[in-house]
Structure 1
Amino acid sequence: MKKKNNKILLFSILWILVIFSSCGSKLEDPPITRSEKPKQSNNSNEPKEQNQLGTGKKVMNIPISRAMVAKMIALTFNDLGDIMAFDREIQFEDTDPNQWYDPYINTVVIQGFMQGTDVGFAPLDPLTMEQANLLLQRIASDVSTSFVSFSAKNRKQPISYSQWVEAYLNCLEKGRKDQSLQEAYGLTKKNIIVIGTPANTSSLPSWSMGTDQGIYGFTGLAMDSYMDQKIQVLLKGNEILAFLGVVEENPTITHAYIQNTEQEQLTIFIGGIQRTYACEESILPITGNIADLTLQQGKVVQVKGYQEEVRDRILQVGGNHIELAQHKKLPVWEDMKVYSTVGETPTWKGKSALLVGTQLARFILKEGKICAAIIDQTPT
């Protein structure tokens, strides 16, 4: 009887130890073994984009890599300058400082968002459904919900880019409480028209994209296929975290500076870069003017130029108006552009370049509102 009681006592102690050891275990990424890679579709005809229900936007229907996920998370919770300044602590064999994703992986590992697997970090492998759910639970640890539904059958399958982005934004929404994405994480959604990438604009540095709103970084993303389309992106500063969808396939570039025209071609300057488009000679605008250009499959098919202008001493530059000495307060378009033609080539400016007390710029009017300012004189 005594021996039996001793066996029961020993079994109870071992069971308690097992429970405590499992409770204290670290939450790791589910390992990817060489014999168990994420399953990918064998259907070569599977579309890479699909229309998102209810929005009319085209979204990416391709797997998202662990490297891209690392970039999104790192930039959500850190500024780019801080990411680049972190000491490199990772020692994975499948990444090095020459890879675009290395600083982002270093950041998420240091901060405990992601860990490696039994084959390194596997940066270019697709994120699986199971890994995605674990990551989102780490980010929103105080929210008792599952952001990605999966089963034992599909837990190792890749999560698509659009599915991950939707779940990730939902996760951030849950964690921000009463704050906006901008207030909580410094993130903004923005619609931009892709004007140029290094593929068609040699003046652009690698991973830099010229748009109608300025130049943005798109490290790790494939954006060339969205040339001349209006897209929605998620931004942290001037770096694109995520592509959210195509807003318009044949957009209108507003308030572009016409740099040159010749024989069914026009060259515009906008967003810090120049771009030449095919355009019927009968609708070519006047060089040096401001115009709206409607695109269709990369060709200008409609032009509306604006020639009404005023030059006056600036009294005040506000958010939605500019006050001039002789013209009082003139309203401005939300997407007003500021250019400088001082020098050999045009340059892209902000409203801060419009100096109070000077009359160095001419203001272009569209329907009674300022749509552009062209600084064409230097202070004396």
Structure 2
Amino acid sequence: MRENGRRGSGRSSSRRSSSRRQQNEPQNSGFGLAVMGMMLLGVLFYQSDDLKELANPLIQKGKNFFSEVQGEQRGIDEVYAMPCMQANIAKILVHTLYNDEVLESSSSGIWYNKYYEVLESKEKFNYLTVDLAMQPVTNELASQIISDVLGDDYTFNLALSEEMLAQSIAFESFLEMYYQALITIGQAENVVIKDISIVKTPASYSNLEPLTVLTDSGIYSFSGLILDPLTDYTLEVAMVGNEILGIMQMIDTKSILEECYISKIDGDTVWIQFGDNEIAYQNKKLTSEHEGSVINLKVEKGTIIDFVEYMAGTIDTVLRITDSYIEFADTGKFSYNSDVNITDYTSSGDWHSFLNVSSGAKVDYTLENEAVKALRIIEKPSSETVRVVITEDGLGDYFHSQVQIEALADCELTYNDQTFSFKKGDVWDSELFEWVDDQNKLVVNAVNDGLLQLNSITRSSANPSYTGSVEVYKDVNGYTVVNEVSMNDYLARVIPSEMPPSFGLEALKVQAISARSYAVSRQTSSQFVKYAAQLDDTTASQVYNNVEVDELAVKAIKETEGQVLKYNNNIVSGNFFSTSAGHTANSGEVWASGETFPTSTPIYLSANQQYEGSSVVENMQSEEDLMEFFQLAPSEIDAFDDHAAWFRWEVFYSVDELSHVVNNSIERLTGQYSHVVKVLDSENNWQIQTVDNIGAVLDIEITQRGEGGNIISIVVVGQDATVEVKTEYAIRTLFAPIQKDSAEPPIQIFRADGSTVDNMTLLPSAFFSPKINYGKDGNLLEVTFYGGGFGHGVGMSQEGVRGMVNRGYTYKEIIEHYYPNSIVEKL
């Protein structure tokens, strides 16, 4: 629940004594041997379902083994001595010296294989081989390893007799020497020495993954160690990233758990919230009055033996965070200090600034001079409800000039801490309402599954209705409207807005899982927190409540209740789009990350073939191959999307039309998207510069394609300026086939089914090949774009889902196809 470690230069500034030995250490030397024996003999069997049955015999075998290996020699620490196996050394070397090269183990069940796979390529440590993985490290071998780490510039020898050099070294002793060696050569920056309290291990808490441990400061991995006997102990450990390398020392047989949120008290049992995990303890001290408090606890053997009440704060839920204030659900608005301290006590522990905090987060905050001084994150937003900011008509702005709410059933209206009845047929109007100064929030609750209709906006030529509650915030720019709704009701209004029910139940199940995954993953985003929301109702998130609820969509939601897309045990965004051209794109080759493009791509959003059989294209980044690919008729390729109108398309531009569409958007692109749209200067360097016109287009050149065939960089040579444009959105905007001169005929896009579409505000996709005809002067005369697909091309193709359903695939098979290496699991 706190980060005590500092990187590189030495020990952490801990809440506990810095003394390396405490008076309250256990005095039973057999305990250290028990842990040694379990580590030595238990690691290969660690994934057994019942560690308890293994523990006692392993402890006794461990005692016998070490009495034989060490004789009467106890090593550096009479109280706690962990054996040092060569496998542990392999892990430490790789995490500290070659952390970027850590591989996934090629042999299931053996935790150390991936480390030896890295060391095999390192000549310096080629004497460490996997066949000796479970052999103890002798003082002599430890000396050799430290010498090799230090290099030729240093001399290191243990001044020990031959007999002592042959003895095994204690883990603690090796870690201490190794850490000092890293400091000496300046490579200790990734190592953190910190105090942790062991809360639960997989042996006593089934929610944990194998070889992970729940501590007071988060969940960590601990392969090669046995921590079960140390539950509720306080340890000093060495770590790299999320991996515990080893125990430096045992500080206390009790835990001090700081700033614990007490979620429930029931007689002799107390439940404490550790991020997403709720852990029960026996209670000897707390009363029911402490429920909902933040308290410092002392724990021993699963029992709370003492406590100190934390400095009084206020527990509330974040609604909005703007540049000038934070608004809480119960206590209202407060300004905040520029240096406000934000601490994340959840399991992920990854919120450290206002850029992370999202609407709906439960927090404990403290004030200083009526301004928020500290914000402690207790719970991330619940996945049971969703907060959606509703856009107004027209340009889709988040501020409304007027709001009218009609009750379609008896409801309740809350304003200024008072609740009033809001009867069926009543209409509330923001312009007629008498607002009180500094009371700028009004909430209308639809009770008993009632509906609230927004008469001030239209969706598909009708006034949309909403379940849950509708919140109205009055601001200087107008009114913000937020709908807080249950997840299932939200999905019921997303799915038919995003996918036609005519696609069938199995397809709608895929859409349900994808939409649910997207919503849950975005609930922890701060993108819309200034509007008191987690998502919006447009394609910037997911289209919400544009059409009526469909019963088949409701059935799909129920039959996939709570199911989400996961990768590495984390819920991931289920990105989707309309139609593929026969191949999807890498996400990192579609969207920029800040100033960086292209970026890395998670495997579940990687480029993949979207047709049956062997590949019809040798190289999806070859211009020649792609020109042929994009001119294939649907009947010539067994693609999942081959039935869709947008599977293939083409658009023709004369030089005048191309110059017209490019110059329509170039000022906005060079101004607002300057990180991906650059202008060539007189010295042939790409620069940030706003231009309003590049003149007649003389040529275009594709300079880079993604692995899936999508264009990620294109250069347009104009008579007055040359621009380089990156990312699919900027490219689709640049060539948007729309004729804005009413005196000229519209620009037409021809589709695979023979139909045409006039004047589009975006090119259908960035999957296309330009066939250019040049004039006698060598400049572009006309061009035809042969392309395919509709949308960004990342993740799941909705038309592809339809095609896979028609081929007999199940919804889970479809999900696994579109999101490789992911799994479908319950929340």
- How does the TM-score come out when normalised to structure 1? 0.68
Counterpart-to-counterpart distance in 2, 1:204 and 1:149 = 44
Cα distance 1:38–1:122, how it changes in 2: closer, same or farther (>3 A)? Answer: farther
Per-residue displacement from partner, 1:29-50 (whole Å, max 9, x unpaired)?
xxxxxxxx99712359x69964
2:344 matched to which residue of 1?
Answer: 337
For the pair 1:157 / 2:167, whether they are aligned, the reply is yes
For the pair 1:226 / 2:230, whether they are aligned, the reply is yes
Counterpart-to-counterpart distance in 2, 1:143 and 1:112 = 18
For the pair 1:41 / 2:96, whether they are aligned, the reply is no
For the pair 1:144 / 2:138, whether they are aligned, the reply is no
Structure 1 segment 258-297 matched on structure 2, within 5 A: 258-280=262-284, 283-284=287-288, 286-297=290-301
The alpha-carbon deviation at position 236 of structure 1 amounts to 1.4
The alpha-carbon deviation at position 249 of structure 1 amounts to 3.4
Cα distance 1:162–1:356, how it changes in 2: closer, same or farther (>3 A)? Answer: closer
Q: SS at 2:103's partner residue?
A: helix
Q: SS at 1:209's partner residue?
A: strand
Q: SS at 2:163's partner residue?
A: coil
Q: SS at 2:223's partner residue?
A: coil
Structure 1 segment 135-284 matched on structure 2, within 5 A: 135-176=145-186, 181-182=188-189, 186-280=190-284, 283-284=287-288
The alpha-carbon deviation at position 168 of structure 1 amounts to 0.9
Asked which structure has the greater CA Rg, the reply is 2
Q: Any gaps of 5 or more consecutive residues in structure 1?
A: 1-36, 52-59, 89-95, 318-323, 340-346
Cα distance 1:315–1:39, how it changes in 2: closer, same or farther (>3 A)? Answer: farther
1:74 matched to which residue of 2?
Answer: 94
Q: SS at 2:131's partner residue?
A: coil
Counterpart-to-counterpart distance in 2, 1:353 and 1:212 = 21
Counterpart-to-counterpart distance in 1, 2:195 and 2:167 = 32
Q: SS at 1:194's partner residue?
A: strand
| Preserved contact between residue 313 and residue 356 of structure 1 (Cα < 8 Å) | no
Counterpart-to-counterpart distance in 2, 1:128 and 1:294 = 39
Counterpart-to-counterpart distance in 1, 2:70 and 2:273 = 43
Cα distance 1:63–1:187, how it changes in 2: closer, same or farther (>3 A)? Answer: same
Counterpart-to-counterpart distance in 2, 1:109 and 1:356 = 41
For the pair 1:327 / 2:335, whether they are aligned, the reply is yes
Counterpart-to-counterpart distance in 1, 2:154 and 2:353 = 49
Per-residue displacement from partner, 1:342-371 (whole Å, max 9, x unpaired)?
xxxxx7553269668965345424686536
The alpha-carbon deviation at position 292 of structure 1 amounts to 2.2
| Preserved contact between residue 285 and residue 291 of structure 1 (Cα < 8 Å) | no
Counterpart-to-counterpart distance in 1, 2:376 and 2:366 = 9
Instruction: Quote the sequence identity (%).
Output: 19
The alpha-carbon deviation at position 274 of structure 1 amounts to 2.5
Counterpart-to-counterpart distance in 2, 1:149 and 1:281 = 53
Cα distance 1:367–1:316, how it changes in 2: closer, same or farther (>3 A)? Answer: closer
Counterpart-to-counterpart distance in 1, 2:202 and 2:72 = 31
Structure 1 segment 6-155 matched on structure 2, within 5 A: 40-43=69-72, 50=78, 60-79=80-99, 82-84=101-103, 98-116=109-127, 121-155=131-165
Cα distance 1:195–1:358, how it changes in 2: closer, same or farther (>3 A)? Answer: closer
The amino acid across from 1:84 in the alignment is L
Q: SS at 1:131's partner residue?
A: helix
Cα distance 1:281–1:73, how it changes in 2: closer, same or farther (>3 A)? Answer: closer
Per-residue displacement from partner, 1:269-316 (whole Å, max 9, x unpaired)?
214433211112653554444332222343112332655346563246
Per-residue displacement from partner, 1:170-221 (whole Å, max 9, x unpaired)?
2212211xx7x22xxx222222221111111111111100112111000001
| Preserved contact between residue 266 and residue 278 of structure 1 (Cα < 8 Å) | yes
1:360 matched to which residue of 2?
Answer: 360
2:377 matched to which residue of 1?
Answer: 373
The amino acid across from 1:218 in the alignment is F
Cα distance 1:107–1:83, how it changes in 2: closer, same or farther (>3 A)? Answer: same
Per-residue displacement from partner, 1:199-247 (whole Å, max 9, x unpaired)?
1111111110011211100000111222112222221111111211223
Q: SS at 1:245's partner residue?
A: strand
Q: SS at 2:195's partner residue?
A: strand
Counterpart-to-counterpart distance in 1, 2:154 and 2:209 = 44
Counterpart-to-counterpart distance in 2, 1:271 and 1:223 = 21
- How does the TM-score come out when normalised to structure 2? 0.33
Counterpart-to-counterpart distance in 2, 1:121 and 1:190 = 32
Cα distance 1:356–1:137, how it changes in 2: closer, same or farther (>3 A)? Answer: closer
Structure with the larger RCO, 1 or 2 (CA within 8 Å, 6+ apart): 1
| Preserved contact between residue 209 and residue 215 of structure 1 (Cα < 8 Å) | yes
1:313 matched to which residue of 2?
Answer: 320
Q: SS at 1:154's partner residue?
A: helix
Counterpart-to-counterpart distance in 2, 1:162 and 1:138 = 19
1:93 matched to which residue of 2?
Answer: none
Counterpart-to-counterpart distance in 2, 1:357 and 1:200 = 32
The amino acid across from 2:146 in the alignment is L
Q: SS at 2:193's partner residue?
A: strand
The alpha-carbon deviation at position 112 of structure 1 amounts to 2.4
CA RMSD, 1 decimal: 3.6
Cα distance 1:285–1:133, how it changes in 2: closer, same or farther (>3 A)? Answer: farther
Counterpart-to-counterpart distance in 2, 1:236 and 1:283 = 39
